């Protein structure tokens, strides 16, 4: 005879591996500043949401990835081929609530909800499933991250978590698990609801078929009706039958002749299924954990499909997870796949591909890139791949070619690193041709490299293959060969907001100019100056004769850190309807030009606006905030007629 307390190692081992991996991810967060833990990467429920979102919107948000999607497919395959394996062998939240339940049982504070109350409460998980899918598909972001107790706890309540959702969810999960048997799994888990829909996939497939036929017949039926019908249908089938139709294929079976009716199996079942009363066990809550098999004191009384296949569920888990990860590593889905041309144009479209664009790093940056490409004549669509930082651009070969598109993608830069010391009248300038310098992120990393080398003042880039780069430096402190060695560093390490980051690099200097020029410091400043021009408050409706310009020195316009905040100043100025334009120019030094309506204001008023201690900043979401004014205009200007 086996002991009633035999440890279910087939189940415990995968669970312990998951706990160890999660612990490793948490500990590494504190030891490695460059490590970004993705606690949802292998979540099959996130994959189901990601796949649905991709099918509906043709986009894949940053919080979604191929691994999630194939884990979701693996979960579906597991239910169809074996049973609800994720719930029993891999789910960390289910394991945690089970531990809490055992603690509640020890103190005799846990009870099991039965009868009508049990059946009615099951609607909650289907409602949560519908809400989660609805908001995910509408926003192309994983809505479950806002409330998921597991994600909130392990991510440390990161920015994706909504506290007013997550904290009540954690409290309900913890208290529910302690006082009510498997409260989360039975009544709240949206993945549990989805798994039960898969168990009843045969009858529910009729809903999908009807929806598809209606769409084919031209009925404009929104996807929300399909999700609602599946959620309602899944709930009704669960509470009316409490078992699947034909599925799952693998079930717990009992040898009635050898059974002694000791009820050890009933007591061991974490879901409180009356194992002793069913043969085979077809209860909707059974996820083939095998605890009842290990608890049975009689050999071979309880089996799987009347065979000794105790090894089948854990083996299926290993195979399906390995298959999911393997497919995710070989199949890449586009983050966005958008076209804005008609079918006939797309039939003759050519495709230009470019990899290594680090600014293609998420859904938002991909959409920004697509919106930029929409403004380019001859571009018909865009496909992006975040994992490889690649873009595919569909274009009309009669209007565009690959070189033009490559030039459109490139963003030239003017980057001031530091000013020459007082008394220095001239700086040195050399021409470098740099490979693998593609986008603004590469420019940022190059800036961090050059900042760490003494004697380098700044650089500019212009389109070319390789990129034409002018570097200004002090030739008495650093020479061209030293600069080349700096540029070709394997990685750059820098500090941002108190944290240290490292980035691998592939910059290569293809060539360096034969001669090193010397330029006046004044010319260097002029070359590094990046003008700014913004019109607002109906500028175009005014004639030049109606406008005046307030002109004053603005040395801060050369400071790259302050220049990024000019938009705050412009937002502040736009609050006054008399001000209609702001621009910066370089004459003998940087100057600010503020255009205002002559009849509605004067230069003195503009000067007062510019020197407010607090700037009134208007954000795109409609909110307004007061921020400290980083600009101080010590010298007053003068009012001129509009040029």
| Banded model confidence at residue 36, pLDDT cuts 50, 70, 90 | confident
DSSP bridge partners of 79: none
| Banded model confidence at residue 6, pLDDT cuts 50, 70, 90 | low
Round to whole Å and give the CA distance between 187 and 383.
Answer: 40
Other C-beta atoms lying within 10 Å of the C-beta of residue 165: 16
| Token pair listed for 191 | 């993945």
Average predicted confidence (pLDDT) for the chain = 92
| Token pair listed for 365 | 């940056």
Helix axes 123-139, 190-199, angle to 10 degrees: 100
Residue 2's pLDDT is 39
User: Which residues are CB-contacts of 21 (< 8 A; sequence separation ≥ 6)?
Assistant: none
Helix axes 603-610, 566-573, angle to 10 degrees: 130
Residue found under tokens 């880039």: 461
Average pLDDT over residues 491-500: 86
Write a three-state SS string for 538-599.
CHHHCCHHHEEEEEEECHHHHCHHHHCCHHHHHHHHCCCCCEEEEEEEECCCEEEEEEEEHH
What is the per-residue pLDDT across 242-273, written as a single tens digit (0 to 9) for each?
999 989 999 999 999 999 999 999 999 999 99
Average pLDDT over residues 316-336: 93
Give me the numbers of helices (H) and strands (E) for the chain, helices first please. Answer: 25, 21
What is the per-residue pLDDT across 56-85, written as a single tens digit (0 to 9) for each?
887 777 777 889 999 999 999 999 999 999
Residue 24 in this model has a pLDDT that exceeds 60: yes
Round to whole Å and give the CA distance between 467 and 509.
Answer: 10
Residue found under tokens 């039939």: 347
Residue 434's pLDDT is 97
Could you list the beta-strand ranges (E) of 245-294. Answer: 252-254
CA of 132: how far to CAs of 63, 145, 174, 229, in Å?
14, 10, 21, 15
Residue 481 in this model has a pLDDT that exceeds 90: yes
Residue 4 in this model has a pLDDT that exceeds 50: no
Average pLDDT over residues 537-554: 94
Round to whole Å and give the CA distance between 393 and 123.
Answer: 46
Round to whole Å and give the CA distance between 13 and 5.
Answer: 16
Identify the DSSP state of 145.
G
Residue 113 in this model has a pLDDT that exceeds 70: yes
Helix axes 312-330, 9-31, angle to 10 degrees: 40
**Mean pLDDT lowest for which of 345-349, 417-421, 440-444, 557-561?**
557-561
Phi and psi dihedrals of 470, rounded to 5?
-100, 125
Please spell the DSSP secondary structure of 87-114, one letter per residue.
HHHT-HHHHHHHHHHHHHHHTT--B---
Average pLDDT over residues 615-641: 88
Residue 331 burial (CB < 10 Å; 0-12/13-18/19+)?
exposed
User: Which residues are CB-contacts of 309 (< 8 A; sequence separation ≥ 6)?
Assistant: 250, 303
Average pLDDT over residues 487-503: 88
Residue 1 in this model has a pLDDT that exceeds 60: no
Average pLDDT over residues 219-226: 92
For residue 464, which of 489, 431, 487 has the smallest C-alpha distance? 431
274 three-class SS: coil
Round to whole Å and give the CA distance between 379 and 434.
Answer: 28
Residue 3 in this model has a pLDDT that exceeds 50: no
């Amino acid at each position: 005879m086996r002991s009633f307390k035999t440890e279910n190692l087939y189940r415990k081992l995968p669970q312990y591996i998951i706990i160890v991996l999660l612990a490793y991810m948490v500990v590494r967060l504190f030891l490695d500043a460059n490590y970004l833990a993705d606690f949802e990467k292998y979540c099959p429920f996130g994959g189901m949401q990601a796949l649905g979102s991709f099918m509906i919107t043709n986009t894949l948000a940053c919080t979604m990835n191929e691994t999630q999607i194939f884990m979701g497919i693996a979960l579906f395959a597991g239910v169809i081929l074996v049973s609800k394996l994720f719930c029993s062998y891999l789910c960390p939240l289910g394991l945690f609530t089970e531990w809490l339940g055992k603690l509640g049982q020890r103190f005799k504070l846990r009870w099991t909800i039965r009868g009508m109350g049990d059946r009615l409460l099951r609607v909650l998980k289907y409602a949560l499933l519908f809400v989660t899918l609805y908001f995910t598909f509408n926003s192309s972001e994983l809505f479950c991250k806002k409330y998921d107790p597991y994600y909130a706890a392990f991510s440390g309540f990161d920015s994706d978590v909504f506290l007013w959702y997550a904290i009540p969810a954690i409290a309900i999960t913890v208290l529910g698990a302690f006082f009510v048997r498997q409260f989360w799994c039975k009544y709240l888990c949206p993945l549990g609801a989805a798994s039960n829909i898969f168990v009843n996939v045969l009858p529910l497939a009729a809903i999908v078929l009807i929806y598809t036929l209606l769409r084919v017949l031209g009925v404009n039926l929104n996807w929300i009706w399909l999700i609602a019908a599946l959620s309602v249908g899944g709930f009704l089938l669960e509470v009316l039958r409490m078992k699947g139709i034909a599925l799952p294929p693998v079930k717990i079976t009992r040898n009635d002749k050898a059974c002694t009716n000791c009820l050890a199996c009933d007591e061991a079942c974490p879901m409180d299924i009356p194992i002793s009363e069913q043969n085979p066990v077809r209860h909707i809550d059974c996820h083939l954990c095998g605890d009842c098999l290990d608890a049975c004191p009689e050999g071979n009384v309880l089996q799987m499909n009347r065979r000794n296949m105790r090894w089948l569920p854990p083996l299926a888990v290993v195979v399906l997870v390995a298959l999911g990860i393997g497919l995710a590593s070989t199949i890449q889905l586009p983050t966005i796949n958008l076209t804005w041309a008609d079918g006939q144009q797309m039939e003759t479209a050519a495709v230009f591909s470019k990899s290594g664009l680090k600014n293609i790093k998420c859904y938002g940056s991909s959409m920004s890139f697509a919106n930029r490409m929409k403004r380019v004549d001859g571009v018909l669509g865009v496909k992006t791949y975040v994992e490889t930082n690649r873009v595919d651009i569909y274009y009309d070969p009669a209007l565009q070619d690959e070189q033009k598109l490559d030039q459109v993608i490139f963003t030239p830069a003017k980057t001031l690193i530091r000013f020459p010391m007082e008394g220095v009248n001239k700086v040195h300038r050399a021409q470098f041709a740099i490979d693998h310098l593609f986008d603004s992120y590469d420019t940022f990393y190059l800036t961090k490299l050059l900042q760490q080398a003494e004697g380098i003042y700044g650089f500019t880039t212009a389109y070319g293959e390789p990129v034409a780069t002018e570097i200004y430096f002090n030739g008495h402190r650093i020479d061209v060969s030293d600069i080349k060695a700096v540029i070709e560093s394997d990685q750059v390490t820098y500090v941002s907001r108190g944290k240290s980051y490292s980035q691998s690099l592939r910059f290569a200097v293809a060539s360096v100019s034969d001669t090193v020029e010397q330029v006046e410091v004044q010319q260097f400043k002029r070359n590094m100056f990046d003008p700014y021009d913004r019109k607002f408050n109906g500028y175009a409706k005014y004639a030049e004769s109606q406008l005046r310009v307030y002109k004053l020195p603005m040395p801060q316009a050369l400071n790259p850190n302050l220049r990024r905040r000019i938009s705050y100043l412009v937002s502040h100025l736009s609050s006054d309807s008399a001000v209609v334009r702001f621009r910066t120019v370089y004459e003998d030094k940087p100057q600010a030009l503020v255009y205002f309506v002559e009849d509605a204001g004067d230069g003195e008023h503009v000067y007062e606006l510019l020197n407010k201690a607090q700037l009134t900043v208007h954000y795109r979401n409609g909110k307004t905030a007061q921020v400290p004014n980083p600009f101080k205009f010590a010298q007053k200007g003068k009012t001129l007629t509009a040029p």
